[in-house]
């Protein structure tokens, strides 16, 4: 498996997000061929604590994914590239993964009765590709960690 520091992940920067939600539509179109916010594997919503800011929720493709550990059907796979995927042929729709994930990423498609989550679009995430402001980008985990630390320091400094 790739070194965890080198693994490609999504990085969301709230300082750059306009809240347009194009990323959600691009995600639903990639996976379901329809433009439907309800079918997106990532979520952008208004930050209740900061007017005009947004919060982005997306899978971190964790090093030791608790969603995988929680799955009773062995339907969750962490691939050689580090990407965490759900095998819908094995999924029984129990939602244990959603309950255990710290940010409740896997969601249940009620029509298909199985769960879905970010699959990193075969290495070319469409949310990042179609974000007009560069608020979602593909970074290595090491880069994302460093950028996140800088963002935290910036937010803390603004509070003073």
Interface contacts to ligand SF4, rule CB under 6 A: 17-23, 44, 56, 59-62, 65-67, 70-71, 73, 75-76, 84, 86, 91-97, 101, 103, 105-106, 115, 117, 131, 133, 135-136
Q: Which of 139, 136, 128 is closest to 30 using CA atoms?
A: 128
Q: Of the two residues 8 and 61, which places its CB atom closer to ligand SF4 in the complex?
A: 61
| Other residues' Cβ atoms within 10 Å of the Cβ of residue 35 | 13
Q: Of the two residues 74 and 146, which places its CB atom closer to ligand SF4 in the complex?
A: 74
Please state whether beta strands 136-140 and 8-12 pair in parallel, antiparallel, or not at all (unpaired): antiparallel
Residue 99 Cβ, how far from ligand SF4 at the closest point, in Å?
A: 8
Q: Which residue has the tokens 């679009």?
A: 121
Question: Vertex 34, ends 28 and 27: CA angle to 5°?
Answer: 15
Q: Of the two residues 32 and 85, which places its CB atom closer to ligand SF4 in the complex?
A: 85
């Amino acid at each position: 498996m790739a070194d965890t520091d080198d693994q490609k992940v999504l990085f969301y920067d709230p300082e750059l997000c306009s809240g347009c939600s194009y990323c959600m539509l691009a995600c639903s179109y990639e996976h379901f061929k329809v433009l439907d916010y309800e079918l997106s594997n990532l979520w952008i919503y208004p930050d209740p604590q900061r007017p005009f800011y947004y919060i982005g929720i997306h899978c971190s493709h964790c090093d030791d994914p608790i969603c995988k550990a929680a799955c009773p059907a062995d339907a969750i796979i962490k691939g050689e590239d580090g990407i965490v995927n759900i095998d819908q042929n094995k999924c029984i729709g129990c939602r244990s993964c959603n309950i255990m994930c710290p940010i409740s990423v896997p969601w249940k498609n009620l029509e298909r009765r199985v769960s879905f989550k970010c699959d990193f679009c075969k290495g070319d995430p469409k949310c990042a590709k179609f974000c007009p402001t560069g608020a979602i980008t593909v970074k290595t985990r090491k880069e994302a960690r460093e950028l996140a630390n800088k963002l935290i320091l910036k937010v803390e400094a603004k509070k003073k």
